[in-house]
Amino acid sequence: MKTGQLKLQWKKIRQDTVLQNKRSKILTKYKKRLFSLFKFLILLGISYIILGPIISIVSNSFFSPTDVYNPSVFLFPLKPTFDNFRLAMLRLNYVKTLSFTVVYISLITLIQIFITSMAGYGFARFEFPFKNILFGCVIITIVLPTHTIMLPLYQHFRSFDFLGIFESARGSKLNLLSSETPMFLMTILGSGLRSGLYIYIFNQFFRGLPKEIEEAAFIDGAGMWYTYLRIMLVNAIPSVLTVTVFSLVWQYNDMFYARLFSMASDHIITFRLSTIQATIEFVDKVKDPLISQLYVYAGVILVLLPILVIYLILQKYFMEGVERSGIVG
Residues 255-284 close enough to bind other proteins by CB under 8 A = 255-256, 259, 270-271, 273-274
Give the E-state strand segments of the chain in sequence order. none
Tally Cβ neighbours within 10 Å of residue 113.
Answer: 20
Pair 325, 242: CB distance under 8 Å? yes
- The stretch near other proteins (CB under 8 A) out of 1-9, 16-24, 94-102, 254-262 is 254-262
- Yes or no: say if 272 and 256 are a contact pair by the CB < 8 Å rule: no
Left, alpha or beta for 268 (phi > 0: left; psi -120 to 50: alpha)? Answer: beta
Beta bridge partners of 174: 160
Select 1 or 50, whichever has its Cβ closest to other proteins.
50
Nearest approach in angstroms of CB 123 to other proteins is 6
* Cβ proximity of 59 and 78 under 8 Å: no
C-alpha span between 92 and 273 (Å, rounded): 7
Is 249 a binding residue for other proteins by CB under 8 A? The answer is: yes
- H helices within 62-130, ranges in order? 65-68, 83-92, 94-125
Nearest distance in Å: CB 289, other proteins? 10
CA distances from 29 to 15, 33, 198, 202 (A): 21, 6, 45, 44
Nearer to other proteins, 52 or 76 (CB): 52
Q: What is the greatest pairwise CA distance in the chain?
A: 121
Residue 83: CB minimum distance to other proteins, A: 19
Does position 293 interact with other proteins (CB under 8 A)? The reply is yes
Which of 26, 41, 42, 216 binds other proteins (CB under 8 A)? It is 42
CB of 103 to other proteins, least distance (A): 19
Which residues, 124 to 153, sit near other proteins by CB under 8 A?
125-129, 131, 134, 137-138, 140-153
Choose, by CB under 8 A, the member of 47, 66, 69, 165 that binds other proteins.
47
Q: How far is the CB of 8 from other proteins (least distance, A)?
A: 33
According to CB under 8 A, which one of 175, 213, 215, 216 is a site residue for other proteins? 175
- Residue 249 near residue 314, CB atoms below 8 Å: no
Could you count the other beta carbons within 10 Å of the beta carbon of residue 122? Answer: 18
What mask, x for binding other proteins by CB under 8 A, covers residues 294 to 313? --xx-xx--xx--xx--xx-
Q: Is 254 in the site for other proteins (CB under 8 A)?
A: yes
Question: Which residues, 217 to 236, sit near other proteins by CB under 8 A?
Answer: 221, 224, 228
The residues, ordered by sequence, that sit 6+ positions from 2 with a Cβ below 8 Å of its Cβ are: none
d(CA 28, CA 22): 10
- Size of residue set near other proteins by CB under 8 A: 93
- Binding residues among 12-41 for other proteins as defined by CB under 8 A: 36, 39
- Among 256, 253, 237, 235, CA closest to 310: 253
Answer yes or no whether residue 247 interacts with other proteins by CB under 8 A.
no
Cβ neighbours around 24 below 10 Å, total? 11
Q: How far is the CB of 19 from other proteins (least distance, A)?
A: 22
Q: Which of 253, 279, 281, 291 binds other proteins (CB under 8 A)?
A: 253
Interacting positions 75-104 with other proteins (CB under 8 A): none
Site for other proteins in 154-173 (CB under 8 A): 154-156, 158-159
Indicate whether 211 belongs to the interface with other proteins (CB under 8 A): no
